């Protein structure tokens, strides 16, 4: 028995040393993993918001706001988009004047806007981890596209026999494209019509001698004018009640 004691004592002395080495190794490995993960996330989290300034001017012919950088460092144009009052260029990289370019002091972009709303310029960090509003502008109530309709002459007595209805005196202001899009709805009848932005009267054909099946004199007529074919921007809408 006495011969075994030195052997047991030596084994007990080695075990704590091995445990300590293993613990140190685990701590080192975990520390490395955490450091790498932290560096990967930190590069985006710590992306500072650009310190830049912009000036704004109104284009009352086209209903646009001209946005011009006046101070600060350069920006990647593909990391910018408009929102809020913007009727276009609302996707990153979609600002045509700035796409694929370094935007710097003196560079401008035009954006079509809705009246009386706030235009915002949004910046996105390189790794898309954070965004910030880097510019805002309150659009005047008289800047941006609009339309008006004088009247809708239904001529209900002729509807069941065919004929036309007339949307009278459509007028436009600050519309971007040469054409606008008019949707006329009455009961089962619906038609999409391309109309010139020069305005005037719009005659709507009710499909010849047979008229429109199911159309009644009591059906109201709704005329909606959109600026674009995608129907994303309503310029005006008018509803004419049917005959009771």
> What percentage of residues in the chain have a pLDDT greater than 90?
58
Chain mean pLDDT for the chain: 83
pLDDT value for 36: 44
- Burial label for 160, CB within 10 Å (0-12, 13-18, 19+), is middle
pLDDT value for 241: 84
pLDDT value for 163: 60
pLDDT value for 110: 98
* Contact (Cβ atoms closer than 8 angstroms) between residue 137 and residue 65: yes
pLDDT value for 30: 59
HSE-CB of 92 using CA atoms within 13 angstroms:
13
pLDDT value for 189: 83
- Burial label for 63, CB within 10 Å (0-12, 13-18, 19+), is buried
| pLDDT at 2 exceeding the cut of 80 | no
Mean pLDDT of 207-228: 78
pLDDT in tens, 160-178: 445 678 899 999 999 999 9
Region of residue 208 (left: phi > 0; alpha: psi -120 to 50; beta: else) = left
pTM of the predicted structure, to 2 decimals: 0.73
pLDDT in tens, 20-44: 666 666 655 555 545 544 444 444 4
pLDDT in tens, 104-138: 999 999 999 999 999 999 999 998 889 999 999 99
HSE-CB of 30 using CA atoms within 13 angstroms:
6
pLDDT value for 168: 93
More confident residue, 41 or 156: 156
pLDDT value for 62: 94
Confidence label for 217 from pLDDT (cuts 50, 70 and 90): confident
* Contact (Cβ atoms closer than 8 angstroms) between residue 69 and residue 53: yes
Lookup result for tokens 């992306």? 47
pLDDT in tens, 74-90: 999 999 999 999 999 99
> What percentage of residues in the chain have a pLDDT greater than 70?
73
| pLDDT at 145 exceeding the cut of 50 | yes
| pLDDT at 199 exceeding the cut of 80 | yes
pLDDT value for 1: 47
């Amino acid at each position: 028995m006495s011969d075994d004691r030195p052997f047991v004592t030596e084994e007990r002395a080695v075990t704590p040393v091995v445990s300590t080495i293993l613990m140190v190794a685990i701590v080192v490995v975990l520390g490395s993993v955490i450091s790498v993960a932290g560096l990967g996330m930190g590069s985006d989290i710590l992306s500072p918001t650009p310190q830049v300034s912009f000036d704004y001017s109104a284009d009352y012919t086209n209903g646009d706001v001209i946005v011009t950088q006046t101070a600060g460092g350069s920006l990647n144009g593909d990391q910018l988009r408009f929102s809020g009052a913007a009727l276009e260029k609302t996707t990153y990289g979609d600002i045509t004047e700035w796409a694929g370019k370094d935007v710097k002091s003196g560079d401008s972009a035009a954006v079509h806007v809705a009246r009386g709303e706030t235009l915002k310029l949004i910046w996105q960090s390189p790794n898309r981890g954070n965004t910030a509003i880097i510019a805002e502008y309150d659009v005047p109530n008289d800047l941006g596209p609009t339309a008006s309709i004088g009247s809708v002459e239904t001529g209900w007595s002729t509807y069941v026999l065919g004929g036309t209805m007339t949307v009278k005196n459509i007028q436009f202001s600050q519309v971007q494209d040469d054409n606008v899009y008019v949707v006329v709805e009455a009961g089962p009848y619906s038609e999409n019509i391309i109309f010139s932005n020069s305005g005037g009267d719009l005659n709507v054909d009710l499909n010849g001698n047979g008229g429109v099946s199911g159309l009644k004199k009591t059906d109201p007529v709704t005329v909606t004018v959109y600026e674009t074919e995608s129907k994303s921007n309503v310029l005006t809408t008018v509803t004419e009640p049917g005959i009771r």
